[in-house]
Structure 1
Amino acid sequence: MDKLLEPILRQPLSDALYVQLKGKIIDGELKPGERLPSERVLSEESGVNRGAVREAIKRLQQAGLVAVKQGGKHEVLDYRLQGSLELLPSLLINSKGVVDPKVVLGVMGMRSAIAPEIAADAARLGGAELADRLDQVLSVMEGGLHDLNALQVGAMHFWQSLAMACDNIAYQLAFNTMRRSYHEVWDKLTYVMAREFQDVGNLKAIAVAVRHADVEAARAAARAHVDLGRKALESVFALM
């Protein structure tokens, strides 16, 4: 009988085991309703101690991937029903290293819905100090409009500043999840989303709206900006 797990080397033990088991569940090798192997089996196959096994299982429970049962008969859950946003980065690329277009477009759809509201909230609360920080980021971006990598970094800093300035913890945590998800496919999106990264005009409009507390102008400019990236990705995946 083939082993479920690979030996774990040179990684924090519970983290590495969590990553392996999470991958098995997301890829469908461990299906909803199935029981995880016992802690003893997991320990023997992975080569980690029982304490690390229990910690990994606890993390799987927190992520909505398993239900912890008495007697160690832990059950795999359907992550689509029980999972949290923590799983998004893992879903973007499968175990074979292939990007899932449906998940990418789902993340972009969430971004298109949330980004305008983040900008609007930042405009309501941010004021001159935030606008000054945004202008500094834009100044750097304008100095390198042909350097897509630098523009990509600048755009991330711009949006992070907006997210941290808004007064909605749900938006902030959702932004953090989207940022981590985005980093999983960072290099693959650099050229696909070039038009958005070069769209400094709408970013400047957001900064102006923040300075003048113009909520609707911030929302409109943000929507126009992120729609460039969303439409570019939709076009690329439509050709696949």
Structure 2
Amino acid sequence: MALQPVVKRSVSADVFEQIAADVLSGELAPGSTLPSERQLAEALGVSRPAVREALQRLAAAGLVAVRQGDATTVLDYRRGAGLEILPRLLIRANARDAGVASALDVTVARSILETRLHNGPKVAELAAQRVDRADIATLRTELDRLLAALAVESDLVALQRHALEFWDHLVDTADSIVFRLMFNMLGAAYEPALAALAPIMSAEVGNTDGYRELAAAVLAGKPKQAARSARALLEPATLALIHALDSAESATEKDLR
């Protein structure tokens, strides 16, 4: 019997998720107002403090504006929210209504892939520029360990995780807080789709020579070569994924006609 860890969730977290899903799906439109704390508590069957905590989290995420003594207003998340909402956007909020466990939002997935292809070479370039000669032995050890894992691993999900760890080291070496935060959020959005993306990602994560060339360029302090190696590694799978998403989107639109 395969047991799964029990996830403990707070009441306020459940309230947050429910309202966030409605905001991100468009069911709660920008400019609309939420019911009062009392009305929400009664409708959801929870305490007012739980509702208040959820609203504070929604405000911090840029999804609503809470003004004391006034109605809580839904914001346009495209204008005020940050990358932390990407995982919620990637898995369509209305998937539960459609009777399926999860469904990728094609537009969001395409945006993530485009960002990945654009940022990857720059991260590699910065890593090669900023690699610390004093710490290079540690970086070399870590990259060699991951290259060895990539060379022998057969499980496609595990391969993707090794690849993510490889890039995690390059992001650290690039020493850019913006790229670090973007990587964190893109990784969080990417994680739920690892199994679904495995067949298309197999050519990339199985390209040990490509990772080896990229590691060598970074460790040698060759920025332009590192950028070229990164693009050569990322581009084939990224374009294949975008093509697959476009085809799936076209097929879905055709079925709906």
2:209 aligned to which of 187, 197, 201: 201
C-alpha separation in 1, matches of 2:60 and 2:139: 35
For the Cα contact (< 8 Å) 1:39–1:72, is it kept in 2? no
1:1-240 alignment runs, 5 A limit: 11-95=9-93, 96=95, 97-126=102-131, 127-144=136-153, 146-240=154-248
Q: Offset of 1:72 from its aligned partner? A: 4.2
Q: Offset of 1:202 from its aligned partner? A: 1.7
Is there any run of 5+ residues in structure 2 with no aligned partner, and where? 1-6, 96-101, 249-257
C-alpha separation in 2, matches of 1:108 and 1:158: 18
Q: Offset of 1:10 from its aligned partner? A: 5.8
* Structure 1, 78-87 or 119-128: larger mean CA deviation: 119-128
For the Cα contact (< 8 Å) 1:105–1:230, is it kept in 2? no
How many residues align? The count is 231
Write out per-residue CA displacement over residues 73-100 of structure 1, whole angstroms, 9 at most, x where no aligned residue.
Answer: 0100111122211111101111312211
* Structure 1, 112-121 or 29-38: larger mean CA deviation: 112-121
Write out per-residue CA displacement over residues 13-55 of structure 1, whole angstroms, 9 at most, x where no aligned residue.
Answer: 2212111110011111111111011111111222222222112
C-alpha separation in 1, matches of 2:179 and 2:77: 22
For the Cα contact (< 8 Å) 1:112–1:227, is it kept in 2? yes
Q: Aligned residue for 1:6?
A: none
C-alpha separation in 1, matches of 2:246 and 2:47: 47
The 3-state SS of whatever aligns with 2:199 is coil
The residue type paired with residue 74 of structure 2 is: V
Is there any run of 5+ residues in structure 1 with no aligned partner, and where? 1-8
For the Cα contact (< 8 Å) 1:118–1:163, is it kept in 2? yes
C-alpha separation in 2, matches of 1:179 and 1:72: 37
C-alpha separation in 2, matches of 1:83 and 1:11: 23
For the Cα contact (< 8 Å) 2:23–2:63, is it kept in 1? yes
Give me the TM-score of the superposition, normalised by structure 1: 0.91
C-alpha separation in 2, matches of 1:42 and 1:199: 52
* Structure 1, 42-51 or 60-69: larger mean CA deviation: 42-51
RMSD: 1.6
